[in-house]
Chains A and B, each alone.
Chain A
């Protein structure tokens, strides 16, 4: 899939926001792909983490917003401990989630969970899931 590069569509605000929330300098990414190779969710995300970093460098808001990657990321930190550039990619994913959540756009809804599921699930699943995917 080609990446469309355009200075007109490059969103500097987004880059700034992600840097501010995550505290990470994703411009340092040199596209080695270690993160993608380490991601346990690789089969279930539609944009690999390496590409997320490239899209961020380009400020491609549209492609980033269409990606399910931050929402399938389980914050397992494998990419983070292996990144040769020392970028905390887990924090970058958190920033991408928070940009949406802070506009009150939730990813999951409590009322859509089955009552049996709620009764069965450990609290840490619910607390962490709602921390990561609701505003």
Chain B
């Protein structure tokens, strides 16, 4: 059975490098997937109010789309989509009263009881595909490139949807190790980059992002790997502003984990679209002889 793939809004426009690299890898790994037809935006954040069920409709509708195709698993790449879909699923599975209200409200749809499994590519590789099997496909390991795994928030918190232990996770470390990187552990691996506060408190967001990058650099990282397009915006795309604002800021290449996977699997570097990262990302890969000059 093919698994359903849920891309979400950002991957089709601002994070094509996350999506296209991932899909090329899945093809090479012969994972059978199909993009969910008629998917809609999940809402990006899970509603935290007890009396607000209307914001559950969007993610639940996506889960119903998966169920009606007879599929039992939906795969995500964007951390925020993962979190929102997984939490909505958890609510539908475990909160009988709210499940009934939502099902009654969405009377044009079949009932949903939380029976789809929501996975992110990282736990899919760990639990379904297997790190050992992935290792067999690593034909161009990253030659010990020093990479810091940045988990961010939404893959790890809250506990109900965490891919790993919220405070001392290892899944991303393990992934980087398998693709041949030297893993740089650092204290800020699970610290928030400021997320959507880039809108409400942009200066604060710039500073916390700067602290995370500095922590990685000070621990010897040559690069930062991440999974979330909003983290990439705050620490990747806005790095010019960080460098401008903080005297002690050092430049650090930032990659999506799927881009590094594509390289390590020996795929043609074009599939990873490094031209969409900051310029330094390609420079480092050339220096390391991981892409052709």
Which residues of A come within 8 Å of B, CB atoms? 20-23, 40-41, 43-44, 71-72, 74-78, 80-82, 88, 90-91, 94-95, 98, 107-108, 113, 120-133
Contact = CB atoms under 8 A, between A and B. Distances in A.
B200 A132 contact: yes
Contacts of A131: 43-45, 55
Contacts of A126: 199
Contact of B199 (A21, A76, A95, A129): A129
A78 B192 contact: yes
Interface in B221-245: 229-230, 232-233, 237
Interface stretch (B8-16, B125-133, B264-272): B8-16
B198 A121 contact: yes
Interface residues of B, number: 47
The DSSP consensus for interface residues of chain A is helix
Contacts, number: 141
Contact of B43 (A23, A74, A125, A127): A127
Shortest 9 CB-CB distances between A and B: which pairs? A76-B192, A129-B199, A77-B157, A44-B204, A94-B48, A23-B50, A129-B196, A128-B196, A127-B44
B188 to A, nearest CB: 9
The DSSP consensus for interface residues of chain B is loop
Contacts of A75: 45, 48, 153, 195
Contact of B229 (A88, A90, A122): A122
A121 B78 CA distance: 15
B144 interface: no
Interface string B110-143: 0000000000000000000000000000000000
B37 interface: no
B197 A41 contact: yes
A110 to B, nearest CB: 10
A122 to B, nearest CB: 4
Contact of B50 (A20, A71, A76, A82): A20
Nearest to B41: A127
A124 B204 contact: no
B148 to A, nearest CB: 17
Contacts of A41: 192, 194, 197, 201, 204, 208
B191 A40 contact: yes
Given A41-B201, A78-B153, A120-B237, 20 more contacts: A21-B51, A23-B50, A41-B192, A43-B207, A44-B201, A76-B191, A78-B192, A81-B157, A81-B159, A95-B49, A108-B199, A121-B14, A122-B230, A122-B232, A123-B44, A124-B9, A124-B81, A124-B196, A128-B44, A132-B196
A121 B190 CA distance: 23
A41 B200 CA distance: 12
B254 interface: no
A123 B14 CA distance: 8
